[in-house]
Structures are given as C-alpha cells and as structure tokens.
Amino acid sequence: MTQATSSLTDTQSAPPDSSVAEPGRARYAVLAQVLRDRVLRGDWPPGGALPAEQVLAADHGVALGTIRQALQLLVAQGLIERIHGRGTFVRAGLSGATMLRFFRFGAAAGTGLGPPASAILARSRVAAPPDVARHFGPGQGGDMLQLLRLRSLAGAPCLVEQIWLPLPAFAALADGPTAAWGDLLYPAYASRCGVSVHRAVDEIGFAALGTEHAALLGLAAGHPAAVVSRRAFDIAGRCVEFRITRGDAQAFAYTVTLI
C-alpha cells in the first residue's frame, strides 16, 4: 500500500500532510477517515460545503484521483454528497423517512387522497421507561419529551405514534402550539432544535392493538397491527429519537429486494 513516496521535486522542507502515511491501509482510506472525523467534529456544518478537491489534494499532498477516491467512500457512506458544478456538501439529513412507505392505505399510497396530515394528541415530560432509555446513550435517557401523534389520510386516521425525544435538546418543542410544527417532524427538529436526522433504523414486528390505540385508529381492540420501532440518529451516530408506530396489519405492505 505504501506507495513510492516518491522522491522527485521534494524541494519543500516538510511534506504537506504527514498524517497520511499508514502501513497496511490505502492512502485514500486514511484520507477518508480524516475527512470523516472532521465532518463529525463539525468542521463543516450539515449542508455546508467542503473545500474543492483541488484544495484538499494540495492540503494533503496527494493526487486528485486519490482525494476523489476518499470522497467517493464518504459518499457511499451517506456522509456527503457531491453536486457537479457546485461542490461537495455535508448531507443535510433525512426530511421524509415516512412511515407510509410501509403501508398501503387507500388505492395507492398518496394517490388522490391528498397529503397526509399530522396531529399531536398529547405532550408531556416524562422519565423514560428503561425499554426506551436503553436506546439512548448511557448518560442520556432520563428526562424526555413524550408525544402521542396521529397521522391521517383524507381525514381518516391510519397511524398512531408514540415518540420520545431527549431533553434538554428538544426543549424548544416542550411549549407552544404543536399545530405550527407542520406535518413533517424531522424538518421541525432541524429548524426548531438544530437536530438533523441522518440515519434511521426501523424494526418491524406484529402485535394486537390495545384498547387505547385501537380507539384512535377506529379499529376494534385486539385488531392485528404492524408495529414499527424506529431509532433515529444524527450524523455523529447519537440516537435522537425513539418512536413506535402502529397501523392496521391489513394495510401493511413492504417490498425487499435481495441481490
């Protein structure tokens, strides 16, 4: 891996970036890790631009192709995105990540039914139960904001969600009218709390509806439900949201492709 370290035109006193020499690992992989760390450290904010590849190459004393390989790695990891003619940017985060992709309500999802609506039915500060707190960091998980949210299509309720958000990071959502948040939560997290969701892990399961949730969805108690437990993470890998979504199992439909 340690390439020629070539010799010629070495008139300068010191190499531009000596940290880029490691045995057993490709130069571009080391560079990628260096850049990754800088992104996670916040050297460039989400949505912000990285230096041009020419600049990065010069700074680290490598050829253009090498820095391009490093950046390509970060693109594959979903950390940055590159736009032809504009530059290289830190990924802003998920805006949609809609639960509706798991369900087929009405004829086809979002066809003729109008946009999905969201209503916050309850909001409270709670001490997180252990089952919830364990998803957050060890220091985290004490004081939390708990939401009960109902999603509707064409006026008909279809999904009920329990959401836990760590405090004080989400203190800005603890007061004030919830109607102003809009129908999508993640943009509200970003604009009101400065928290951008970068990755989400959904676990799908199955259970019977309790009386409370069933009533909200207009179904009978004990009706079969699909249960999606989501952990959402910021760019640094910290869990910033835990959510349990329930919907009619009859409406559940999800497609997986194996290659």
How far is CA 217 from its chain centroid?
27
Residues for the chain: how many in total? 259
Rounded to whole angstroms, the Cα distance separating 92 from 101 reads: 21
Q: How far is the CB of 197 from DNA (least distance, A)?
A: 25
Check residue 94 for interaction with DNA (CB under 7 A). no
Take residue 25 and report the two structure tokens written for it.
Answer: 């690992």
63-82 binders of a second copy (CB under 8 A): 78
Instruction: Choose from a second copy, DNA, none: what does 255 bind? Cβ within 5-8 Å by kind.
Output: a second copy
Instruction: Choose from DNA, a second copy, none: what does 6 bind? Cβ within 5-8 Å by kind.
Output: DNA
Check residue 119 for interaction with DNA (CB under 7 A). no
Stretch that binds a second copy, among 35-43, 148-156, 159-167, 196-204 (CB under 8 A): 196-204
Among 94, 100, 163, 219, binds a second copy (CB under 8 A): 94
Phi, psi values for residue 42, rounded to 5°:
95, 15
DSSP class per residue in 7-34: -TT--SSS-S-GGG--TTS-HHHHHHHH
Check residue 201 for interaction with a second copy (CB under 8 A). yes
Take residue 135 and report the two structure tokens written for it.
Answer: 């998803």
Instruction: Choose from a second copy, DNA, none: what does 200 bind? Cβ within 5-8 Å by kind.
Output: a second copy
User: Which amino acid is it at 174?
Assistant: A
Site size for DNA (CB under 7 A)? 32
30-89 binders of DNA (CB under 7 A): 50-55, 61-66, 68-69, 82-88
Instruction: Choose from a second copy, DNA, none: what does 226 bind? Cβ within 5-8 Å by kind.
Output: a second copy
Instruction: Choose from a second copy, DNA, none: what does 22 bind? Cβ within 5-8 Å by kind.
Output: none
Stretch that binds a second copy, among 21-29, 150-158, 202-210, 237-245 (CB under 8 A): 202-210
Asked if residues 217 and 189 have their Cβ atoms less than 8 Å apart, the reply is no
- Going by C-alpha positions, the residue among 213, 258, 259, 247 that lies closest to residue 101 is 247
Among 63, 117, 122, 254, binds a second copy (CB under 8 A): 254
- Going by C-alpha positions, the residue among 25, 24, 30 that lies closest to residue 61 is 30
Q: How far is the CB of 147 from DNA (least distance, A)?
A: 36
Exposure letters 36-53 (e unless 16+ CB within 10 A, then b): beebeeeebebeeebeeb
Q: Look at phi and psi of residue 115 and say left if phi exceeds 0, alpha if psi is from -120 to 50, else beta.
A: beta
The site for a second copy (CB under 8 A) is made up of: 78, 94, 97, 198-207, 224, 226, 249-250, 252-259
The site for DNA (CB under 7 A) is made up of: 1-4, 6, 8-9, 26-29, 50-55, 61-66, 68-69, 82-88
